[in-house]
Amino acid sequence: MLNVEDYLSGQVLLIDKPLHWTSFQVVNKLRWEIRQAFKIKKIKVGHAGTLDPLATGLLVICTGKMTKEIDSFQAQIKEYIGTIVLGGTTPSFDLETEINETFPTSHITEALIKETTAQFTGEIQQYPPVFSAIKKDGKRLYEFARAGEEVEIKPRTVHISEFEITHIDGSNIDFRVVCSKGTYIRSLANDFGKALQSGGHLSALRRTKIGDFHVDHGVTVETFIKNIASE
C-alpha cells in the first residue's frame, strides 16, 4: 500500500493507456485521483513518451521527484505491435483522418512484404507526420494541418533495430517494431506502403515496452483508480 509520501518522493506507474485517450488526459486523471485520495493541493505527475489517441499500451507515468527521470526513460528503446493496411493513404497516416488516395496491391506478395522490411532497419531518415505534436514556430504541426496550412517538415534520423512481420491477412499486415526515441510508427506505415509501390496507413498500434518496462506489468486507469481509493 502506497501513502502520500510515496507518491511525493516519487513513483513510476505503468499504465495501459485506453483507446481514444490522449497521454495528457491520462496524466491529468492520475494527478487528480492522487490529489483527491490524499487531500493534497499539488503533486508533480508526467509521462515518459506520448502515445497517440488511437494507440493503446504502455505509458510510463512518474510522480513527485521521479519526474526528474522522465528524460532518461524517454530515451530508452521502445517496442510496438500494430497493423498496417496497404492500398490507401490518409493525411494523418492513421485512422484519425479518412483515406485520401487508393493504390493497387495486386502486385504485392508475402515475400515482397517481408523483403521490404530490410529497407527500414538500422538508421533511417523519417519525416514526422503533419498531424503530430512537434512544434514549429511556436505551434504544433497538427494545428497547421487542421487549418489546411502547408508547413515544411525536416526529416529526422531514427534507429529501427527490429521490424518483423507477424501476420498477413490480405492487405492487413501485422508487425512488431523495436525502435529508438523519436520514431513515428505512423510514418513507418506510410513509408512502407510507398516502398511497396502502393500506399499504407496505420490501423492499430500498441506500445508493449519502454526499456525494461512492459505493458503486461501495467494497470488500466480504472484499476489504478480502484487501487488508490483503497490505499
Catalytic residue status for 137: no
Cβ neighbours of residue 12 under 8 Å, at least 6 residues apart? 60, 61, 62, 66, 69, 73, 213
Report the C-alpha gap between 162 and 159 in whole angstroms.
9
Element holding 6 (H helix, E strand): helix 4-9
C-alpha cell at 63: 510522480
- Which grid coordinates belong to 166? 507477424
Q: 3-class DSSP state for residue 141?
A: helix
**β strands within 64-212, DSSP E:** 78-86, 88-89, 101-102, 122-126, 135-136, 139-140, 156-169, 172-179, 200-210
Considering 16, 52, 94, 191, which one is annotated as catalytic?
52
Give catalytic residues, as residue numbers: 52
